[in-house]
Structure 1
């Protein structure tokens, strides 16, 4: 007879995914066994299988749930009644907050995609491409020249993501710069270049 679902089933699954993400981020997917996962979650392997059928399922959810949050932000940005530049600034700020709050999930997303089965890998890549498309549309609104020079649009967008996606590799929330200040610095760098970082602009206002 199958084990009945607990009242906190969904909450427990999320807890498993969060702990697994930290373990995968530290050891890599291949370096973490089901026994390691059970230990990290404070449970048995048998009980872990009650919530997830395989380690692959946990890895997939670690990526998917993180991307779902990013996608929700992107969807809200697209319907905002504000100029494109203001919407892009908001997107950067919200993305950076998610990257800091879910650093392990972000690291797993960037490093472990190859370990997903092909069908699920395609689903994750599709979610990522939708996020890229949102930023591309904002870039075109901010800089109409991209309409004539489409070949430059994707490289510019990927440079943008390259600037913010790897924050988790070095940023420390308890360091001298807050997440809000960091987001402001990333935005100023995008819009004003290196010279813009030397002005008493939004990063310094955030610190005031």
Structure 2
């Protein structure tokens, strides 16, 4: 990684931290520069705008979430295994990239319309893959007949908030949290459960 690339990564990391802590609108380029111990003008050698930072942070997070569910689809034969893997991948993104996950969940809506629509398309694709995963489990008879849309929303709603309370210094590893979520969700989905 070249010096310029390393500096850009550092800028993105700091911007993600500040956007999570203060919010996108309350964070200024001066705040980012001060945290990096740079002159504000020096930032512009690496980026064009604060919105560029927001887009790149959110876009990378969207790609991480998408990569995780696609890998779960490739590696799991049974729907219940894919669901476990998808939850573990989602939780890993939150645990390993807590700042950017928070920005992804909350700050993306502040992007201008064309950038926001690009992110919305990725969010829609991600949620569709969750619905497909659950619908596949229903079709195979692994899951009882549930509305895949609501089951996907329930699973995602549960795990999405982990960035608020999960601590890497706490007693549970991300995989433990994902396994607990999977057990609870699967108990409600599995065929033969009441």
TM-score (norm 2): 0.88
Q: Give structure 1 regions of 4+ aligned residues with deviation exceeding 4 angstroms.
A: none
What is the CA–CA distance in structure 1 between the aligned matches of 2:7 and 2:88, rounded to whole Å? 29
- Which consecutive unaligned segments of at least 5 residues does structure 2 have? 189-194
**2:159 equivalent in structure 1:** 164
Whether the 8 Å contact between 2:132 and 2:148 is mirrored in structure 1 is no
Deviates most, 78-87 or 112-121: 78-87
Determine which structure has greater relative contact order: mean sequence separation of CA pairs < 8 Å that are 6+ residues apart, divided by chain length: 2
Q: For residues 63-142 of structure 1, what are the structure 2 equivalents within 5 Å?
A: 63-80=58-75, 82-142=77-137
Whether the 8 Å contact between 1:16 and 1:41 is mirrored in structure 2 is yes
Q: Aligned pairs, how many?
A: 185
Give the CA RMSD over aligned residues.
2.1
Whether the 8 Å contact between 1:20 and 1:40 is mirrored in structure 2 is no
How far off is 1:75 after superposition?
Answer: 2.1
User: Which of the residues 168, 186, 191 maps onto 1:191?
Assistant: 186
TM-score (norm 1): 0.82
CA offsets, 1:97-153, max 9 Å, x none?
11011111111111112211010000111111111111111101112299xxx9932
